[in-house]
Amino acid sequence: MNLKKINDYLYEIPKSFRPDMRVPARVYADEVLLDQIFRDKSLEQLVNTTTLPGIVKYSLAMPDAHEGYGFCLTKDAKVMTSLGFYKKIIDFEKDWEGQNLKCFDFRRGIAESVQPIRFLKRKCNPSIYQIITLSREKIRATADHPFYTQKGMIPLKKIKEKEKIAIYPFKGVPYKKPSSEIIVSEKDIEKALLKLGRKPGQAGFDQNIRVLKKRNLLPLTYDHPKLPYLLKIMGFVFGDASMNFIGKRGDGIIHFVGKTEDLEEARKDLKKIGYTSSRIYERRNELKYKNKIKTYINHHFNVNAASLVILLEALRVPRGAKVSQAYRIPKWIFKAPLWQKRLFLASLFGCELRAPHRRLERKFGFNCPTFPMGKREELVNNAKMFLKDISRLLKEFGVYTSTINQRKRHVNTKGQVSYGLELIFSSRTENLINLWGKIGYEYNKERQLKAMVAVAYLKYKQKVLGTRKRAIDRSRLLRKRKVPYRKIYKKLCGPFISERFILDVVFKGDKKVAVKISPNFLTLEEFSAQAAKDLGRSGMVWDTIKKIEKIPFKGDVYDFTVNHPDHNFVANNFVVSNCIGGVAATDYEKGGVISPGGVGFDISCSVRLLTSGLDFEEVKSHLEKLADELNHTIPSGVGRGGKIKLDRETMDKVLADGLKALVPKGYATEEDMAHCEGGGSLEGADPLKVSDRAKTRGRDQLGTLGSGNHFCSLEKIDKIFNKEVADKLGLKLGQIVVMIHTGSRGVGHQVCTDWVRVFNSKISQWGIKLPDRELACAPINTPEGKGYFGAMCGAANFAVCNHQMITHLVRKVWDKVFGKKSQGLKLLYSVAHNIGKIEEHKIDGKKMKLIVHRKGATRAFPPGHPELPKDHQETGQVVLVPGSMGTASYVLVGTEKGKESFYSVCHGAGRAMSRHAAMRRVSGEAVVKELKSKGIIIKCRSFRGIAEEAPLAYKDIDAVVNIVDKAGLAKKVARLVPLAVIKGE
Amino acid sequence: MINDNICMISDYEILPHTADLKIRAYGKNLEQVFSNMLKGMFESSHPEIVSKQPVTREIRISARGPLRRSFSEASGSALGGKSQNLESLLVDFLSEALYLSDVNNEAYFGVEFKKLTEKELDGEIKGEKIKGSQLEIKAVTWHDLEIKKEDKLWQATVLFDI
């Protein structure tokens, strides 16, 4: 995929990225934040938003919406591709596009193929970690690079020794660029056709050549992109498939037999070559055996394509019955690079070579793999030559065969005699590891999975054998020094080194001791049971980490970004990894939809700023008292109600009228209302569309903060970026301001829950298909769409009233502490960042009515916009971007250039770390202590919940705001730093 | 060593997620996986239990319609209309439990079902009175929602908005 760079701060993901996208997706970010963007679900969510019916122009993501880590691998990390070869990551630098890497879908537990979106190269910080596992897998990566463990993807620095990590045991073979030598030319096809008795000028001649040319298959060279798939198909035809010309017209047909999942793979590969196959058929055969009838089910499909049969014949694939034909491994394969040979062999073995199976009489060994072949008596020598060809190919992989046996003699009904021959492979551990670890099986998923477990098992066995050998050598040495055997045992004992073992070695003296596996070693069954637990049928296996160490490093580090929800690929056998926050506008007139998921659960979660007439010097001695009073007065409302309990009638009024309902009671002024987004009272609010549940939940939550990242804080303006605008807004350096961040509490959560349920039940009726049910939506011109809109506005009205009641409490405390000295607190502005609004925007010169969904994004209208209060007409709409606890916050104003993002900007710093991770890294008390050392007071009911909100869990707010500023979407006006953070009682 | 740490399937586990709470619950049957997810949800919110006195609430999701319309109290909860499928049923069940918890200041750690099919349920959730939670679970989302039976074990994954 080509990520389009619009400018230094804006990138676009084209519509072609995914087939269900209706519009492109855009991301505001710089190079650094761009890395983080692709690391998690935000990309997927952003792209999902583009599927909303009626969406206009593009869906947007703001820089703060992105979560994730920045992490890389060293240049020699071997990355596994889906064609079974690996390349060092540095070798991908020039041609990473279009490569197919192996990756895993953890949810479904399967292996898949994925293409990289980006290739990253960066200068590294001077330290790198190295992991070595029990099976001697090794990899070096940066501290933040996630690896897949039993707890999911965890960054390297968090992984401890003895923890289990997921590896993909398949080693594959190194990549070598194939030559451009021609294997099959047009002339070769003509020769093959003439041999078949076809004549030029006839239908069966020119037609076939034309078809092959149309599919770009001629000339077929070693570096032809379709050759890898042809090699796989060839292996199949040499095995369980067969091809021939049938009927009077000589129709070419290739017949494939196997298991459904494997046949599907073959069909996909044939499609890549350019041929369509029949569907998969099922055939049931009943066989009578000892008076019982057994039903055998087999699956097969065909390809009817004479041109393909001709091509394969020109490639020297046998046609017709194999038992009565002489043929060899095509000579040209011997000239192909190793990874191409591998594709042919793996596919052939997928048909003919049995899965790894245990020796019955030796618990820990495998039977010799055998490759069988049946041939007519008179062609037995040819069969032996063919098997020797295979042996020759195998040597290049380090796989050795021992003998060729001629076994069974069979006479058929026509009296023809044929023999069954076998090529026997060595069953030595190293041999098997090479066979299954480098070649493996294609078109046979079941066998490949068993092979992966077998490789892991054998490597583990090797390791234990190594331990035992070392124990033997060391005991001998110690014995020579006359150390008693009990002491030797104490020194060397381990899970596979028993006292009896040491005794045996010691008493054998100088006689040779064979290194054998310990009798208490795991059997294959025991190993399999644990090895792939929870890893489904992906082929991944758990390995235990032996050592993690930090090593000094100087140089570049690399990584891929891949297009897959689980964001991973395989490097050095390790499975490694590489939204909220979005704006989507749908067309109101043309069946555009409204989506509760595009708005968020905390409907109208908002931020407001109250300015005071006091500066830091005047307030500093009162800070502790002020913070205390505020904390006592403002309820958090979590688990216990607030101070206000609404009856049904008042609740309905609040939902319907917003601040208008509070003015008569003296809790809000007209001026307050003018300085709220939407005028403090959203039109279109309909209390009837808010469920009883939502109303019941919210009845005692008016005037409460809630938990999580909600807060009330005392801040100081410590930097002015734009004096002109700051003056007009009444902002001064050193001024004390109050920030409140909260939302619609249980009302909003319930409204969203209720309507998502309704929408999901109706979505098929409207013919809408969505990639994520959380995006459940309804066309705005349906009763349901209108219903949600009405309920959402109601919840937004509840939110602004909630804010206002808290403001009222803050004002009371302010007056109490400062009395006549202060002029009270003035509301600068209140903005929402989880809301859907019906707005008019000019799109391509045309005025359009849009439903703009801002989830984790803030509206930022430009100067002169009619919706702004009179005193902000010149400056543009005030935008408030709170940082995380203890970090800076920003005041910005909207600009005309914001038009390109539907006048929307970011809403905050955005999380960079999960709550769990934050809690593990730091304790609540430690955070409070650190903030205190910076002069910041935290007032809360308990320390739990503080760690999760620690600043280290959030992104760099300065970087986020800078992007918005540089992209021209809003202008920085002032920066605030916190003095006290109040979480409420 | 593979020998040592034989993994025990827990009732539920918390999966990594940057901003929200993702829980995977297990069970030998459908009742158990629903019950364990409920337990996981409430235990993860770290409620402050006020009294050991057990409380029970009725939950019903069926075609029969709501039990009783009441503004000030939610003695039980009945959601009208059957759920679309098993996944919807799980979300509806957890959302209803969350609603009852918020309104009554209770947390529920187990459930006994009188009826549990793919689209309907009727049961009693059991818990205790609380005076707040350290973590407020805002809602049950449909993101990455999954419930399936694999190798004789039921498994459900739910992402909660917090």
Tell me the three-class secondary structure of A919-976, residue by residue.
HHHCCHHHHHHHHHHCCCEEECCCCCCCHHHCHHHECCHHHHHHHHHHCCCEEEEEEE
- Residue of A54 and A778 predicted with greater confidence: A778
Q: Is the Cβ–Cβ distance between A283 and A297 less than 8 Å?
A: yes
Chain B: residue whose CA lies nearest to A705: B136
Q: Which candidate in A66, A675, A872, A907 is catalytic?
A: A907
Torsion over CA of A212, A215, A217 and A222, rounded to 10 degrees?
A: -170
Tens digit of each residue's pLDDT (9 = 90 or more) over A957-971: 887 888 888 888 899
Work out the average pLDDT over A413-431. Answer: 91
Lowest mean pLDDT among A182-186, A401-405, A475-479, A609-613: A475-479
Token pair belonging to A405: 């046996």
Among residues A608, A675, A581, A588, the alpha carbon closest in space to that of A852 is found at: A588
Chain B: residue whose CA lies nearest to A529: B6
Tens digit of each residue's pLDDT (9 = 90 or more) over B102-143: 888 899 999 999 999 888 899 999 999 988 787 888 889 888
Among residues A579, A661, A250, A163, the alpha carbon closest in space to that of B7 is found at: A163
Nearest by CB to residue B1, choosing from A150, A544, A651, is A544
Calculate ∠ Cα A945-A948-A953, nearest 5°.
155
Mean of the per-residue pLDDT values of chain B: 81
CB count, 10 Å around CB of A565?
16
Backbone angles phi, psi at A256, to 5 degrees: -110, 135
Give the predicted TM-score (pTM) of the model. Answer: 0.58
Mean of the per-residue pLDDT values of chain A: 84
Kindly indicate the confidence band of residue A67, based on its pLDDT and cuts at 50, 70 and 90: very low
Chain A: residue whose CA lies nearest to B17: A914
According to DSSP, the residues that pair with A154 across neighbouring strands are A147
pLDDT at A219 over 50: yes
Q: Is A622 a catalytic residue?
A: no
Q: Is the Cβ–Cβ distance between A205 and A193 less than 8 Å?
A: yes
C-beta atoms of A773 and B14 within 8 A:
no
Work out the average pLDDT over A821-840. Answer: 88
Residues of A in contact with B18 (CB under 8 A): 40, 67-68, 911-914
- Shortest CA gap A600–chain B (Å): 9
Element (H, E) at B41: helix B30-44
Tens digit of each residue's pLDDT (9 = 90 or more) over A315-368: 999 999 999 999 999 999 999 999 999 999 999 999 999 888 888 777 788 889
Q: B136, B146, B155: which to substitute to probe chain A, counting the most A Cβ within 10 Å?
A: B136
- Residue of A119 and A173 predicted with greater confidence: A173
Residues of B in contact with A698 (CB under 8 A): none
- Residue of A687 and A288 predicted with greater confidence: A687
pLDDT the model gives residue A184: 94
pLDDT the model gives residue A386: 96
pLDDT the model gives residue A120: 64
Q: Distance between CA B148 and CA B25 in Å, rounded?
A: 11
pLDDT at A578 over 70: no
Kindly indicate the confidence band of residue A259, based on its pLDDT and cuts at 50, 70 and 90: very high
Token pair belonging to A666: 């003296």
pLDDT at B2 over 60: no
Kindly indicate the confidence band of residue A819, based on its pLDDT and cuts at 50, 70 and 90: confident
Q: How far is CA A448 from CA A342, A349, A718, in A?
A: 14, 10, 63
Residues of B in contact with A915 (CB under 8 A): 21, 135, 162
pLDDT the model gives residue A721: 94
- Shortest CA gap B25–chain A (Å): 13
pLDDT at A72 over 70: no
C-beta atoms of B136 and A708 within 8 A:
yes
pLDDT at A39 over 60: no
Among residues A617, A602, A691, the alpha carbon closest in space to that of A651 is found at: A691
| Interacting residues of A111 by C-beta distance below 8 A, sequence separation 6+ | A102, A103, A104, A105, A168, A538, A539, A540
| Cis bond before residue A169 (omega within 30° of 0) | no
CB count, 10 Å around CB of A484?
11
Q: Distance between the two ends of chain B, CA-based, in angstroms?
A: 38
pLDDT the model gives residue A18: 84
C-beta atoms of A911 and B130 within 8 A:
no
Lowest mean pLDDT among A52-61, A124-133, A459-468, A781-790: A124-133
pLDDT at A66 over 50: no
Tens digit of each residue's pLDDT (9 = 90 or more) over B90-105: 999 999 999 999 888 8
Kindly indicate the confidence band of residue A538, based on its pLDDT and cuts at 50, 70 and 90: confident
**How many CB pairs below 8 A link A and B?**
139
Q: B7, B10, B60, B102: which to substitute to probe chain A, counting the most A Cβ within 10 Å?
A: B102
pLDDT the model gives residue A371: 95
pLDDT the model gives residue A38: 61
C-beta atoms of B69 and A692 within 8 A:
yes
Helix or strand or coil: residue B123?
strand
- Percentage of chain A beyond pLDDT 90 is 38
Work out the average pLDDT over A95-116. Answer: 70
Residues of A in contact with B91 (CB under 8 A): 757
pLDDT at B23 over 60: yes
Element (H, E) at A212: helix A203-214
What are the DSSP calls for A222-268, one per residue?
TT-TTHHHHHHHHHHHHTT-EEEEETTTTEEEEEEEE-HHHHHHHHH
Chain B: residue whose CA lies nearest to A581: B19
Nearest by CB to residue B139, choosing from A527, A601, A696, is A601
C-beta atoms of B71 and A150 within 8 A:
no
C-beta atoms of B135 and A707 within 8 A:
yes
Interface predicted TM-score (ipTM) of this complex, two decimals:
0.85
Work out the average pLDDT over A749-775. Answer: 82
Work out the average pLDDT over A945-953. Answer: 70
Q: Distance between CA A436 and CA A547 in Å, rounded?
A: 26
- Percentage of chain A beyond pLDDT 70 is 89
